[in-house]
Amino acid sequence: MEAWGVALIKVVFIWAWTLIIATLMTWVERRGSAMIQDRLGPNVCGPFGILQPLADGIKLFTKEDIVPEKAKKILFALGPIMFALPAFSAYAVIPFGDKIVIGGKEIILQVADVNIGFLYIMAIGAMSVYGIVVGGWGSNNKFSILGGLRSTAQLISYEVPFGLALLSVVIIYGTFSLREIVLHQQGTFLGFLPNWGIFKQPLGFILFIVTAYCEANRVPFDLPEAESEIVAGYHTEYGSMRLGLYLFGEYVNMYTLSALMVTLYFGGWHIPYIDMSKFLGPVAYGIASFLVFFLKTCFFLWLFVWVRWTVPRFRYDQVMSLGWKSLIPLALLNLFITAFLVQLTI
Amino acid sequence: MGKPEVKRDYTLGERLYLVEIVKGLGITWKHFMKNFRASLQKGPHTVPTCWQYPWDKREISPIFRGEHMLLLDEEGREKCVACGMCQRVCPAKCITIKRGKVKEGEEAKYAGKTYCASFEIDLLRCIFCGLCEEACNKGAIVLGQGYELADFSRQACVADKKRLIGNFLRAKEEGRLKPKRPPVPVAGAKDAKAAGPQKAKSAGGGQGKGLKRGV
Amino acid sequence: MAQDYVKINIGPSHPAMHGTLRVIAETDGETIINAEPEIGYLHRGVEKLAESMTYHQFIPVTDRLNYCSAIPNNVAYEMAVEKLMGIEVPEKAQLIRVIMMELSRISDHIVCVGILGVDIGALTPFFYLFIQRETIYEMFEWYNGSRLTNTFGRIGGVEAPLFPGFEQKWIEFKPELMKAIDEMDKLLTHNRIWMDRTIGTTAFSAEDALNWGFTGPCLRACGVKRDLRRDEPYCMYDKFEFDIPVGKYGDVFDRYWVRMIEMYESIKIIDQAIEMYKALPDDAPLMAKVPKILKASEGEIYSAIESPNGELGFYLRGDGSDKPYRLKIRPPCYMVYQAFGELVNGEMVADLIACLSSLNVIAGELDR
Amino acid sequence: MQLLERIKGCLGGLIIDISEFHGDIAVEVDRFKIVEALTRLRDDESLSMNFLSDLFGLDNKAFYEKPKKKAKKGDAEGEEEEKPKELPPRFEVVYLLLSLKTNERMMVKIRVPEDDLEVSSVTSLYKAATWPEREAFDMFGIRFKGHPNLKRLLMWDDFPAYPLRKDYPLEGRGEERSLVYGD
């Protein structure tokens, strides 16, 4: 019974936390892009405009909910939910800290330490495309359908290098559990480098980050919603909170993917060369590990924003050819080399 | 016909995507840091593009062509004599003037022998080209610096004489009157010298005036 | 078996449409099979309007042709009227015209190149350039009180000398502008994503371009070295040193590149013009002697200048009255845009947008 | 008069009238021979007028309604037998040509009577004429034979009048009120 209670608290905490991060990210994105572009951005609501997401939320909630006359009503309603739900669920298997001891009880800072965490991420991540396709189709708008189709093709193509890049990580650590992968990354590698995934998988990391951008529909892979070509892609016809769910889902996806990057390649909650558990109390250690993990995640979240406002957008066929002609061969090569090296060392 | 074959060679750095993207990230980072520091400062207009409009307004040129004003001379008399030049020259036809004759005892109010009984400018039609200002012999109508012209009704956007003179009085109070521009030097009729070739043509029989005909 | 294509209607209200343009494209997947541009959504009957206005009154209307750079329109019209009436414009006025025209050429190219970046997804360089455009507008504002629709110049000259601090402002502004253009260059030109998007898209051969009546940067991108400033000099352009950049394939990248180089060339011209301007006495005439009521004799002329978009021509026929009998504007992008269907045929939907922004089609000028 | 001489040499008998004003040469040719005239001007070695700058229509009505001008026009009418002398053709189509070789410009004009508004299209020579011809059709009602897609360009398809004609009022006749929106 107690285990249930703990699990529930963790779930509620991580949902709320993700929500807060996603809302804050909309503000960071707007302020950050403004700073990059020599502007100020929203700075009126609250100090530094930090309450802007709240204002946006109120606006989205109170706006009239318009359903196009010729839209397929059920699909139209289903789309945003199908997009947002997997985005929220994916975080369940990612460890957001090491462990914390409260009342003599050790609690792992992870909603569920599933031993197939990897497969869960892959499966849930691929689900979100349904939300886009269903929404695009249900809108009964040519631009929406184009956006939906672009998204499908893109996700199917990039799922392969994404999976292959992950597979190399699995080969190295020999486990599917994300928590165990992080635990493996303690200490040093080759004597002087932190024992992080990125130093064992440099090519794999580049492949992973490129495909992650594609999975998250971010620039330079934001073709499904390329606003200058196909208006707003799959969410052309959406308004009010339905649109809000799509936008929200995107940021939650970003958060999940950033956390995944930290987990796999940047040592999770480890600080290089320092073992925090040695000199911190159990409670302080739990909080510190959580914060370290979060700060690392923040960097990747910011990278999403930073890249978005720096590079132009690909064209549809170029994304395809990049995926199939460059990334998949590279991912296969990476997998092969990894397997070979692992075989040598064992 | 048909589209030409395009062949351009990419350098290795260009081929690899990431090199140029990282360089680009460097540029945007520089801008970010600069503006981040600027945004922490207090005071208006810390970031080059942004004026926090209702609270903080940019300096506008003293000869800005904004909302019109009708000028009074030093003795407080209306300069306008309702000659109608501005009305005639206006490309948007937004000025309507009614002329009145100055009666005995009213000389202290009006500078000329006639005056404008009503003077209306439809600011919705006006394109702020400044031709009325140029056409006015008396220097009575001048485009001022007012640019906040939005209003709730069409009628409110028609500026009448009272509002136009009010504009002048306010501008005078704030010291925002347009500086007098010196007259533009005009070339003498005789020295119509060749000031650069006006459309020189290799075979274009000179600047032939008038129409020549004949097969 | 008959094949069905998807018809998509891009515009007149679409986030990537510059003004009110509309393209009806038949697509096979993402590939365009057939695209037909439709125009006329901003048709205001400017030519009809001209017949009811005096020669002077029409100057503000010309502002509204190419609203991204009003000054070349003003000057083109004024030069046409001056040619019709045989008025010689004083040297100093011509220099002011050159300076102002080149400034607005820079601002027009800024708009075109910046928006091209936005349409290909790079929003940031757009802002870097538009800040500089703001300074140019400020200079216009200090010159004659207006920022966008300048109503610059009068028939027979210009209305004012350059404002006193002009040179100082230009000297301060020049490095900023060059830095911004450099940043755009660094952010985009060698970026593989940008190159892939622009190189080879909507390439056009020089013969086709001439046959379709291309002028300006779009023609020069095809490799034809033609610039009215050099070929049919007006406003003393033959006294300035500047290069005419040409492209090779006429694709989006070449159009972009030609415009980027032209901004640098314009800076050069302004530098020289300011030097020449300073050498003239303060009281040198700015206006030719022009009668108060302008009446043209009977006759017809055609006068053209190199506006930022290409050859901007005015055909004028006078009938002895103070109003033009017939005025015909030859807008540069009108000729370019009619080849749009041919340009984008076989390309993808994303290229359509890139092509459109690289042509710099301005609806005001297109529909008149 | 070098250009003038060359044009005369090139076109020869096709010229009906030739005028020069401030250096701009305007040549009037027979309206049935416009394609031939433009081809000759393009292919002539010394002229090579190979760039069509613009093409547009023009309504002469008000022009010849003034008696003074009527008399002036009179002497140029000799070659058009089928038209009565008092009523010269109402419309003109003006072609602005440019030689990219010598940077010279010229105008070629044809006159089109009101009762037979058909002119052969020059789109086979210059693609640049595609939209200008549509616009001339739109604004004046001049029909261009052989044009690939002759329909209204700037006005909507059902517009009942030709707005740039001199008898069309500046403020319109309220056609937009009869527009039907939607399906």
Residues of D in contact with B202 (CB under 8 A): 2-3, 102-104
Whole-number Å distance between alpha carbons of C253 and A311 = 16
Query: Does the structure show a pLDDT above 80 at B206?
Result: no
**Average pLDDT for D119-135:** 87
Task: Report how far residue C18's alpha carbon sits from residue C14's, in angstroms, rounded to the nearest whole number.
Answer: 9
Per the document, the length of chain B is 215
The number of domains in chain D is 1
Nearest to C332 by CA among C212, C233, C247, C234: C212
State the chains in contact with D (3 or more Cβ–Cβ pairs under 8 Å): B, C
Cross-chain CB nearest to D52 (options C213, C226, C319): C213
> Are chains A and D in touch, 3+ Cβ pairs below 8 Å?
no
Cβ separation B21–A311 shorter than 8 A: yes
Of A220, A230, A316, the CB nearest to C121: A220
Give C140-170 pLDDT, tens digit per residue.
888 888 888 888 888 888 888 888 888 888 9
- Tell me the CA end-to-end span of chain D in Å, nearest whole number: 60
Pairing of strands D24-29, C324-330: unpaired
Confidence of residue A6 (pLDDT cuts 50, 70, 90): confident
Contact assignment for A35 to B29 by CB distance below 8 Å:
no
Residue A100 pairs in a beta bridge with: A107
Q: How many CB pairs under 8 A join A and C?
A: 82
Q: Does A40 touch chain C (CB under 8 A)?
A: no
- Of the candidates C146, C150, C142, the residue with the CA atom closest to the CA atom of residue C169: C142
Mean pLDDT, range B148-161, rounded to an integer: 87
Report pLDDT for B215.
36
- In this prediction, residue C160 carries a pLDDT of 84
H helical segments located in chain A? 2-36, 52-62, 73-89, 117-138, 142-173, 178-184, 197-200, 202-215, 240-265, 276-279, 282-308, 316-321, 328-345
User: How many CB contacts within 8 angstroms connect chain B with chain C?
Assistant: 173
Query: What is the predicted pLDDT for the residue at A244?
Result: 85
- Report yes or no on D82 lying in a domain: yes
> CB A312 to CB C8 under 8 A?
no
Q: What percent of chain B has pLDDT over 90?
A: 0
pLDDT surpassing 80 at residue A137 = yes
| Full domain range(s) for residue D114 | 2-127
Among left, alpha and beta (phi > 0; psi -120 to 50; other), residue C156 is: left
Q: Is D6 a member of any domain?
A: yes
Give the contacts of A38 (CB within 8 A, at least 6 positions apart): B31, B35, B47, B48, B49, C127, C128, C131
Residues A184-201: what's their mean pLDDT?
Answer: 77
A315 in contact with C at a CB cutoff of 8 Å?
yes
Q: What is the pLDDT, as a whole number, of residue D182?
A: 62
Q: Using alpha carbons only, what angle is made at residue D83 by residues D77 and D85, rounded to the nearest 5 degrees?
A: 50
C321 touches A200 (CB < 8 A):
no
**Is D29's Cβ below 8 Å from some Cβ in B?**
no
* pLDDT for residue D64 is more than 70: no
**Partner residue facing B185 (CB), from C142, C236, C284:** C284
D167 found inside a domain: no
State the virtual CA torsion across C97, C100, C106, C108 in degrees, nearest 10: -90
Average pLDDT, chain B: 77
Residue to substitute from C124, C128, C131, C186, interface A, most A β-carbons within 10 A? C124
In tens, the pLDDT along B94-115 reads 888 888 888 877 777 777 788 8
Residue A150 scores a pLDDT above 70? yes
pLDDT confidence bin for D82, thresholds 50/70/90: very low
Question: How confident is the model over B37-51, as a mean pLDDT?
Answer: 77
| Rounded Cα distance, C118 and C97, in Å | 31
ipTM above 0.90, yes or no: no
Domains and CATH numbers, chain B: 13-57 (no CATH), 68-173 (3.30.70.3270)
Specify if D160 maps to a domain. Answer: no
Is the CB of C205 less than 8 angstroms away from the CB of B201? Answer: no
- pLDDT mean over A37-58: 84
The pLDDT tens digits for C281-334 are 887 888 888 877 777 777 888 888 888 888 888 998 888 888 888 889 988 888
Contact criterion met (CB below 8 Å) for B196 and C235: yes
pLDDT at B204 over 50: no
Phi, psi of C329 (to 5 degrees): -100, 135
- Tell if the CB–CB gap between C233 and B197 is shorter than 8 Å: yes
Task: Tell me the C-alpha to C-alpha distance, in Å, between residue C10 and each of A142, A177, A228, C30, C43.
Answer: 11, 49, 11, 13, 19
Domain assignment present for residue D43? The answer is yes
First to last CA, chain C: 44
User: Domains of chain C, with CATH numbers?
Assistant: 55-367 (1.10.645.10)
CATH number for the domain including D76?
3.30.460.80
Query: What's the whole-number mean pLDDT along residues C194-203?
Result: 86
Residue A318: pLDDT over 60 = yes
Mean of per-residue pLDDT scores for chain A:
83
| Minimum CA–CA partner of C303 in chain B | B199
Closest-CA residue of D relative to B211 is D21
Which residue, among C49, C52, C51, has the nearest Cα to C63 in the 3D structure? C49
Q: Select from C54, C205, C236 the Cβ nearest to the Cβ of B4.
A: C205
Residue (of A293, A289, A258) closest to A91 by Cα position: A258
Contact check, Cβ <8 Å, D96/C40: no
Confidence class for position D81, pLDDT limits 50, 70, 90: very low
Q: What is the pLDDT of residue C233?
A: 86
If one compares B41 and A307, the residue with the highest pLDDT of the two is: A307
With residue D57 as reference, give the H or E element that holds it. Answer: strand D51-59
Q: Which residue, D112, D120, D116, is CA-closest to D144?
A: D120
CB atoms within 10 A of CB A321: 15
Considering only residues 64 to 93 of chain B, which have any Cβ-Cβ distance to chain D shorter than 8 Å? none
Average pLDDT for residues A95-109, to the nearest whole number? 74
Cβ–Cβ pairs < 8 A, chains A and B: 44
pLDDT at A49 > cutoff 70: yes
Q: Is there a domain that residue D137 lies in?
A: no
In Å, how far is D84's CA from the nearest CA of chain C? 24
Read off the pLDDT of residues B4-22 as tens digits, 9 standing for 90 and up: 777 777 777 777 788 888 8
Structural domain contains residue D156: no
For residue D168, is it within any domain? no
pLDDT of residue D83: 42
- On whether the CB atoms of residues C209 and C247 are closer than 8 A, the answer is no
- pLDDT for D66 equals 52
Cα dihedral B114, B120, B125, B129, rounded to 10, equals: 40
pLDDT given at position B205: 35
Of the listed ranges A10-19, B165-174, D38-47, D84-93, the one predicted with least confidence: D84-93
> Is A197:A264 a contact under the CB 8 Å cutoff?
yes
Is residue C12 within 8 Å of residue C356, measured between CB atoms?
no
Q: Label residue D80 by pLDDT band (50, 70, 90).
A: very low
Cβ–Cβ below 8 Å for C326 and D170: no
What DSSP character marks residue A109?
S
Residues of C with CB under 8 A from a CB of D: 39-40, 43, 45, 47-49, 51-52, 83-84, 86, 208, 210-213, 224, 226, 231-232, 298-302, 304, 311, 313, 315, 317, 319, 325-326, 328, 330, 334-335, 337-339, 367-368
Query: Are the CB atoms for A54 and A45 separated by under 8 Å?
Result: yes
Q: How far is D126 from chain C (nearest CA, A)?
A: 5
Asked if B202 is an interface residue toward chain C (Cβ–Cβ < 8 A), one would say no
pTM: 0.86
Token pair for B165: 């003179």
B186–C94: do the CB atoms touch at under 8 Å?
no
Residue B215 to residue D18, Cβ atoms within 8 A: yes
The rounded percent of chain C whose pLDDT value lies above 70 is 99
